[in-house]
């Protein structure tokens, strides 16, 4: 995933890649004291010479030995792993997963931290991004500073919630399934992923060999018993016979156009949220945590408080999760317009919401389709943009529609903070902000901000 880029000396954010150099420092070790957490699953430290280190597998306040994994003499910063803990934080635990740690699987960032500490670290990142990029304190953002666990995820230290309903396995040269190492194409072969849901684990992907494949994505619906694998062959590779421990549908990613095509079984899985069933076709997007769809719908609906007869926009609407929830609440006299760039997702959204004639779904990029609609006003807006955020021009357009409330669902706190700054310029401020730990053991966090127009003092 692409992370936020920033100057290491100015903030605790995920940096851009260092410039290549002949004077590599990879393998060098430094004993350092660990500073604050940074956006991206690591912490900041400085060497005695003042070099900035972005260190994985460390915790704030620890004294560690850090081994450089990327960077050179003339780099603005170095990346490193904590390979020895000299003085441990009280929040440290032994990583439950045998594949987590320096030089191993890059899927989890915080296996070495207690669950409560992970949520505090995520909260610190959100607070830092809000302050630095939007000039907002938690109080000004309407946030109490907490990151809430999903239902059932509040487990003792040393236990890992099995939450991930979609896992993309990389395949090594010998046909074995594993996960990518951090910032690497190298594969860490595994026999079990601890954060994979039961529906994924019961397929037995790791027990099979996958000759001629580059990746195997396993999908286990939490709204039905649907199971699916999406196979990506290596260039010129042939599709193997798929025999897993549970019945699955099989899809293939085509080498020529990157399109996904059905091999056998259903081309979709059925998911359930807010009392409705949603078809998600061809490996399309759906929230990965089983509790995420209902958690986010509840937060958005509580924030927007839709009224009968209102007109709403659902931007980046996917297969129609929020559009369906709003349409149920605005009633037959209301209207909802969804906009989504994925052609397949639009087909699914139209199918999923076919019983709600007050919903219309348009296909295309939000910044292109929205102006073409000639819509000049809306009562409610919900947007769930990709990791890069909505951007200045889209925010400006949305603010001009005069919605009484806007719900912004964000998977990246930096993008959220940037867009909140744009909204502030356009006359909207946060009413409330809530944060949810829907990606345990990783640095990712989901936020829902409810915005309203700034009322002039009179």
Q: Are 319 and 386 in contact (CB under 8 A)?
A: no
Report the pLDDT value the prediction gives residue 11, as an integer from 0 to 100.
Answer: 39
- What's the burial of 139, exposed, middle or buried (CB within 10 Å: 0-12/13-18/19+)? exposed
Q: How far apart are CA 388 and CA 122, in angstroms?
A: 18
Taking only the tens place, the pLDDT of each residue in 372-388 is: 999 999 999 999 999 99
- What's the burial of 401, exposed, middle or buried (CB within 10 Å: 0-12/13-18/19+)? middle
Report the pLDDT value the prediction gives residue 37, as an integer from 0 to 100.
Answer: 98
Pairing of strands 428-437, 147-149: parallel
- Per-residue pLDDT for 285 more than 50? yes
Helix 413-425, helix 115-129: angle, nearest 10: 30
Q: Which two three-digit tokens encode residue 329?
A: 């609440």
Q: How far apart are CA 389 and CA 419, in angstroms?
A: 7
Once rounded to an integer, what is the mean pLDDT over residues 82-92?
98
- What's the burial of 198, exposed, middle or buried (CB within 10 Å: 0-12/13-18/19+)? exposed
Strand partners, 171: 177
* Residues with catalytic roles: 411
Residue 91: band (very low, low, confident or very high) from pLDDT cuts 50, 70, 90: very high
Q: Give phi and psi for 118, each to the nearest 5.
A: -60, -45
In 39-143, which ranges are E strands?
A: 42-46, 52-56, 63-70, 78-87
Give the alpha-carbon dihedral of 99, 152, 117, 148, to 10 degrees.
130
Taking only the tens place, the pLDDT of each residue in 187-206 is: 999 999 999 999 999 999 99
Once rounded to an integer, what is the mean pLDDT over residues 198-223?
96
Q: Is 428 helix (H, G, I), strand (E, B) or coil?
A: strand
Taking only the tens place, the pLDDT of each residue in 18-42 is: 555 569 999 999 999 999 999 999 9
pTM of the model: 0.93
Closest C-alpha among 36, 278, 174, 401 to residue 383:
401
The alpha carbons of the chain give a radius of gyration, in whole angstroms, of: 23
Q: Give phi and psi for 294, each to the nearest 5.
A: -70, -40
Report the pLDDT value the prediction gives residue 20, as an integer from 0 to 100.
Answer: 52
Give the side-chain half-sphere CA count within 13 A for 329.
19
Residue 286: band (very low, low, confident or very high) from pLDDT cuts 50, 70, 90: very high
Q: Are 290 and 284 in contact (CB under 8 A)?
A: no
How distant, in Å, are the alpha carbons of 181, 220, 260, 297, 331 from that of 280? 29, 12, 13, 17, 25
Residue 2: band (very low, low, confident or very high) from pLDDT cuts 50, 70, 90: very low
- Per-residue pLDDT for 283 more than 90? no
Residue 157: band (very low, low, confident or very high) from pLDDT cuts 50, 70, 90: confident
- Per-residue pLDDT for 101 more than 90? yes
- Per-residue pLDDT for 10 more than 50? no
Q: Is 115 helix (H, G, I), strand (E, B) or coil?
A: helix
Q: How far apart are CA 343 and CA 362, in angstroms?
A: 9
Neighbour count for residue 118 (Cβ, 10 Å):
24
How distant, in Å, are the alpha carbons of 7, 25, 42, 52, 87 from that of 48? 20, 15, 19, 10, 17
- Per-residue pLDDT for 429 more than 60? yes
For residue 169, give the DSSP letter.
E
Closest C-alpha among 10, 73, 20 to residue 47:
73
- By mean pLDDT, which of 238-242, 309-313, 333-337, 436-440 is the weakest? 238-242
Q: Is 443 helix (H, G, I), strand (E, B) or coil?
A: coil
Output the CA angle 416-421-426, nearest 5 degrees: 120
Q: Is 290 helix (H, G, I), strand (E, B) or coil?
A: coil
Q: Which residue has the higher pLDDT, 156 or 26?
A: 26
Report the pLDDT value the prediction gives residue 21, as an integer from 0 to 100.
Answer: 53
Q: Identify the residue whose tokens are 């670290």.
A: 121
Q: Which two three-digit tokens encode residue 257?
A: 């156009």
* Direct distance between the N- and C-terminal alpha carbons of the chain, in angstroms, rounded to an integer: 46
The length of the chain is 458
Report the pLDDT value the prediction gives residue 17, as an integer from 0 to 100.
Answer: 52
Q: Which two three-digit tokens encode residue 458?
A: 């009179």
């Amino acid at each position: 995933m692409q992370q936020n880029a920033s100057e290491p000396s100015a903030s605790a954010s995920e940096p851009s890649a260092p410039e290549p150099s002949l004077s590599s420092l990879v393998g060098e070790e430094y004993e350092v004291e660990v500073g604050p957490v940074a956006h991206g699953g690591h912490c900041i430290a400085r060497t005695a010479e003042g070099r900035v280190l972005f260190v994985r597998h460390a915790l704030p306040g620890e004294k560690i030995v850090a081994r450089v994994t990327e960077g050179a003499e003339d780099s603005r910063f170095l990346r490193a792993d904590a390979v020895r803990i000299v003085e441990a934080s009280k929040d440290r635990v032994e990583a439950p997963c045998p594949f987590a740690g320096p030089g191993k699987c890059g899927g989890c960032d915080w296996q070495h931290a207690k669950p409560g500490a992970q949520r505090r670290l995520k909260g610190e990142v959100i607070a830092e991004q809000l302050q630095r990029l939007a000039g907002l304190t938690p109080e000004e953002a309407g946030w109490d500073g907490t990151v809430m666990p999903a239902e059932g995820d509040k487990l003792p230290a040393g236990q890992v919630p099995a939450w991930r309903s979609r896992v993309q396995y990389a395949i090594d040269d010998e046909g074995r399934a594993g996960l990518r190492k951090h910032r690497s194409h190298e594969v860490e072969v595994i026999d079990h992923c601890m954060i994979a849901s039961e529906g994924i684990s019961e397929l037995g992907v790791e027990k099979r060999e996958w000759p001629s494949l580059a990746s195997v994505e396993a999908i286990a619906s939490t709204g039905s018993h649907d199971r699916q694998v999406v196979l990506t062959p290596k260039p010129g590779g042939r599709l193997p016979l798929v025999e897993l421990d549970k019945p699955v549908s099989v899809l293939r990613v085509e080498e020529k156009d990157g399109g996904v095509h059905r091999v056998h079984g259903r081309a979709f899985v059925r998911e359930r949220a807010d009392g409705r069933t949603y078809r998600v076709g061809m490996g399309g997007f759906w929230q990965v945590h089983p509790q995420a769809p209902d958690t986010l719908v509840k937060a958005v609906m509580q924030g927007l408080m839709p009224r009968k007869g209102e007109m709403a926009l659902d931007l980046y609407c996917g297969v129609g999760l929020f559009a369906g929830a709003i349409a149920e609440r605005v009633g037959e006299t209301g209207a909802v317009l969804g906009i989504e760039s994925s052609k397949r997702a639009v087909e699914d959204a139209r199918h999923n919401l076919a019983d709600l004639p007050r919903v219309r779904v348009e296909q295309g990029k939000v910044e292109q389709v929205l102006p073409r609609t000639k819509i000049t006003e809306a009562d409610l807006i919900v947007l769930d943009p990709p990791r890069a955020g909505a951007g200045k021009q889209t925010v400006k357009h949305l603010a001009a529609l005069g919605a009484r409330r806007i719900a912004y669902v964000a998977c990246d706190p930096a993008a959220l903070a940037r867009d909140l700054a744009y909204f502030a310029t356009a006359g909207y401020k946060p009413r409330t902000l809530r944060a949810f730990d829907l990606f345990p053991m990783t640095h990712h966090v989901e936020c829902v901000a409810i915005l309203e127009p700034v009322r002039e003092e009179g």
